[in-house]
Homo-oligomer: A and B are copies of this chain.
Amino acid sequence: MQKIRVGIVGYGNIGRGVEAAISAAEDMELVAVFTRRDPKSVTTRSGAKLVHMDEIASYRGAVDVMVLCGGSATDLPVQGPQIAALFNTVDSFDTHAKIPEYLQSVDAAARQAGTLSIVSVGWDPGLFSIMRAIGGSVLPDGNDYTFWGRGVSQGHSDAIRRVEGVKNAIQYTVPIEQACERVRAGENPALTTRQKHVRECYVVAQEGADRARIEHDIVTMPNYFADYDTTVHFITEQELHEKHSRMPHGGFVFRTGKTGFTGEENRHVIEYALKLDSNPEFTGSILAAYARAAVRLSREGVSGGKTVFDIPLTALSPLGRDELIKNLL
């Protein structure tokens, strides 16, 4: 069997996570990593070839699917449709509010090129989205709850780094255990943003900076921190490096709901929980699985922009359909 030939676009944390996943997959091989940096300035962990982004088009016919590992803020809105015009693609675009617009632009490019692109693949958006869709389908009379953490939020860490006087920072999103327990017990509580998570910030201040003002700027920051109970801890660059350089994460999706005729209802709780030692490696593994699905469906003639909601599990699994049915159904 010919292996699925994969390219990785962007060699940050997620790109390295995809590289590890492809290296471990028996049915896939990594053809090259594409970067905007000088390829000679970077070495890949697996020894895979590094190629400058400008040469990506010359890999048509040699790569079955490109896994796009750039950021959602500025990279993917440009790269997504551009590369979808050349290759099947998978990406982890994660700005929830802008997904429909992004999907539309990728879909247009992919349809015209006859390629297949799966956008917003990861664990949220991604696996958590799948759980919300299943939960809402089987318990239509109910409530969704999503909790994240304890884990590092890159967006919130970046927001702190933009505060004047901040040299470096890491932000942990932490679910409030009491709130999770109320949901788990089937109480169906109405929870405000503040009642679901707290935010813990570890901040390296620049020398001579006004720490009280930095703390105030962080905890009152609209959208990011103002709606949460936020704690700010000032630490040294060395402590940040030693204690906060790992990237664990996790979270929970709940669907609680009731069934039965009025007056005779029965209650049900569905819980999906992730405990991850490495957020980028887990995300990379999900991207690798959906890269497989993209190639399989593309070979069946499917094209256009897709999401995890469109992809049957027969396309995702390394097992064939018969094996899936025999062993896992």
Contact = CB atoms under 8 A, between A and B. Distances in A.
A140 interface: yes
Q: Which 5 A-B pairs have the closest CB atoms?
A: A266-B278, A266-B277, A259-B281, A269-B275, A132-B328
Interface in A14-37: 17, 20-21, 23-25
A2 to B, nearest CB: 19
B127 A138 contact: yes
Interface in A311-327: 311-314, 316-319, 321-322, 324-326
Contacts of A311: 312
A308 B329 contact: yes
Interface of A: 17, 20-21, 23-25, 45-46, 96, 99-100, 103, 120, 125, 127, 129-130, 132-134, 136-141, 144, 186, 259-261, 266-278, 281-282, 284-286, 289, 307-314, 316-319, 321-322, 324-326, 328-329
22 contacts: A23-B261, A45-B261, A46-B261, A99-B326, A99-B329, A100-B325, A127-B138, A133-B324, A134-B313, A137-B313, A137-B318, A138-B286, A259-B282, A266-B277, A266-B282, A268-B277, A270-B272, A271-B273, A271-B274, A272-B273, A309-B312, A309-B321
A41 to B, nearest CB: 21
Nearest to A139: B285
Contacts of A312: 309-312
A305 to B, nearest CB: 10
A141 B25 CA distance: 9
Interface centre among A139, A276, A324, A329, by most B CB within 10 Å?
A329
